[in-house]
Amino acid sequence: MVNAQILTENLNLWFGTNHVLRDVNIPIYDKKVTAMIGPSGCGKSTLLRCFNRMNDLIPEAKIKGKILMDGDDIYKAKANVTEIRTRVGMVFQKPNPFPKSIFNNVAYGLAIQSKYSKSEIRDRVEKSLKDAWIWEEVKDRLNESAFSLSGGQQQRLCIARALANNPEVLLLDEPTSALDPQSTAKIEELCLDLKNKVTILIVTHNIAQAGRISDYTAFMYLGELVEFGQTDKVFTVPQDKRTEAYLTGVFG
């Protein structure tokens, strides 16, 4: 039995009067890949953003319920949001490097914490770039602009940036939907490698991708977590008719 690192308890979220997440209870297991699938607008990105309190930035968002991370509610009154965001890194659909050099994209988040020496920062940047499988491609051009990289390289740079803080969890919101098949394959393989170091939660519209890389699959529909289980089980013997319909392409 694997331990859940994160557990939501009756998580509800509203944007104004729009009830977007409804009593979601989901475990996110330590050092596994969990894929979140479901039709457009069902609340996948919103749920993902709850895990690093990114919805706090949206004034009309209201949250009820708990998210326990290692047993501690990240929504409790005294929670340290900055610390949560270093423990839970995030990568978005479109690669969004800073308008800085390749090196400084990864170094920036470390430098502003002013607790690392220059050589520690250099070491961490190199390690993060290696862990994100992009070091070999950039090691001779670290001072060039991040925008000089291809889309797939930019996305791996964003993964390196997220890894620089040594997060426990990595949230990926459709990280390959803007990429070509080759760059996509590379990031899928990278996820399989990274899960030895970090817990991964990935939103994807690509059902085959969920099948290839995830240990657990969560199917969401209209704000509800309809089904959660081991990916091979969810894919072969879905318990809910709506999961089956989605997986067989009846709607989506």
Ligand X SMILES: Nc1ncnc2c1ncn2[C@@H]1O[C@H](COP(=O)(O)OP(=O)(O)OP(=O)(O)O)[C@@H](O)[C@H]1O
Q: Quick one: which segment of 38-46, 106-114, 206-214, 240-248 binds ligand X (CB under 6 A)?
A: 38-46
CA 181 centroid distance within chain: 20
Instruction: Tell me if 219 sits within 8 A of 38, measured CB to CB.
Output: yes
Check residue 15 for interaction with ligand X (CB under 6 A). Answer: yes
CB of 211 to Mg ion, least distance (A): 19
Q: Residue 2 class from Cβ within 10 Å (0-12 exposed, 13-18 middle, 19+ buried)?
A: exposed
Cα distance between residue 226 and residue 240, in whole Å? 7
Question: What track of x and - describes contact with Mg ion for positions 125 through 164 (by CB under 5 A)?
Answer: ----------------------------------------
Question: What track of x and - describes contact with ligand X for positions 140 through 159 (by CB under 6 A)?
Answer: --------------------
Say which residues have a Cβ less than 8 Å from residue 227's Cβ, sequence separation at least 6. 217, 218, 219, 234, 238, 239, 240, 242, 243
By beta-carbon proximity to ligand X, the closer residue of 94 and 127 is 94
Check residue 176 for interaction with Mg ion (CB under 5 A). Answer: no
CB of 109 to ligand X, least distance (A): 24
DSSP class of 130: H
DSSP β-bridge partners for residue 182: none
Q: Residue 91 class from Cβ within 10 Å (0-12 exposed, 13-18 middle, 19+ buried)?
A: buried
Kindly report the three-state secondary structure assignment for every residue of 17-40: CEEEEEEECCEEECCCEEEEECCC
Per CB under 6 A, the list member of 8, 26, 32, 44 interacting with ligand X is 44
Tell me, by CB under 6 A, how many residues bind ligand X: 12
Question: What track of x and - describes contact with Mg ion for positions 197 through 236 (by CB under 5 A)?
Answer: ----------------------------------------
Per CB under 6 A, the list member of 2, 41, 233, 250 interacting with ligand X is 41
Per CB under 6 A, the list member of 5, 34, 45, 184 interacting with ligand X is 45
Whole-number CA gyration radius for the chain: 18
CB of 62 to ligand X, least distance (A): 11
Check residue 45 for interaction with Mg ion (CB under 5 A). Answer: yes
Check residue 58 for interaction with ligand X (CB under 6 A). Answer: yes
Task: Identify the three-state secondary structure at position 179.
Answer: coil
Say which residues have a Cβ less than 8 Å from residue 42's Cβ, sequence separation at least 6. 220, 221, 222, 223
By beta-carbon proximity to Mg ion, the closer residue of 34 and 45 is 45
CB of 135 to ligand X, least distance (A): 31
Contacts to ligand X by CB under 6 A:
15, 18, 20, 38, 40-46, 58
